[in-house]
Amino acid sequence: MNDSFPSLERLRLPDEQIQTHAPAISKGIKISSPSPKVRGEFLKGPIPLDWLGRAAKLPGKASLATALAIMFEVGRRRSNQIKLTTAILNRFGVNRKAKYRALKQLEGAQLISVIRTPRKNPIVTVLPVDAESPDKTPGREVTGMALAV
């Protein structure tokens, strides 16, 4: 048989080197990995940049903070539909009244849909954003080179 890889034997580790690494593995000593694990909480991606860009263009701080809180919870729950609690938003510096305004703005920008029930936390569904569709940010229309608010 014709050997297509005649020099592979030179890549094999000598038995002495294999023996020195085996005790470390059997004792449970971790061999360092190239990338360290992320500690603490974080936003889980991917987060569509078009979606985030539209949220950032909305007026006020609460809209973007609410959008980030929604994406944080979407990543944690691994679902596009979440219950948005005031406790989650408090971590992002958004109070209860600002939450209502921000949800209306995000809904008006067609970034989310909201199911509201009296005395219950709203159920928020993240909507996909079409990259080709124009920016539907309420209250902002581009006319020529000027921005009309």
Say what the pLDDT of residue 7 is. Answer: 75
Distance CA 33, CA 50 (A): 34
pLDDT, position 149: 39
Q: Judge if pTM exceeds 0.85.
A: no
Side chain identity, residue 146: A
Give the pLDDT confidence score for residue 94 in this predicted structure: 96
DSSP per residue, the chain: ---S-TTGGGGSPPHHHHHHHHHHHHTTPPPPPSSPPP-S----S---HHHHHHHHHSSSHHHHHHHHHHHHHHHHHTSSEEE--HHHHHHTT--HHHHHHHHHHHHHTTSEEEE--TTSPPEEEEPP--TTSPP--TT-EEETTEEE-
Q: Name which CATH class applies to 49-148.
A: mainly alpha
pLDDT at 108: 96
Residues 6+ apart with CB under 8 A from 126: 51, 70, 71, 74, 80, 81, 111, 112
In the chain, where the domains are located: 49-148
Q: What is the pLDDT along the chain (149 residues), one digit of tens a residue?
A: 566 666 777 777 777 776 655 555 566 666 566 667 778 888 888 899 999 999 999 999 999 999 999 999 999 999 999 999 999 999 999 999 999 999 999 999 999 999 999 999 999 999 998 865 555 555 444 444 444 43
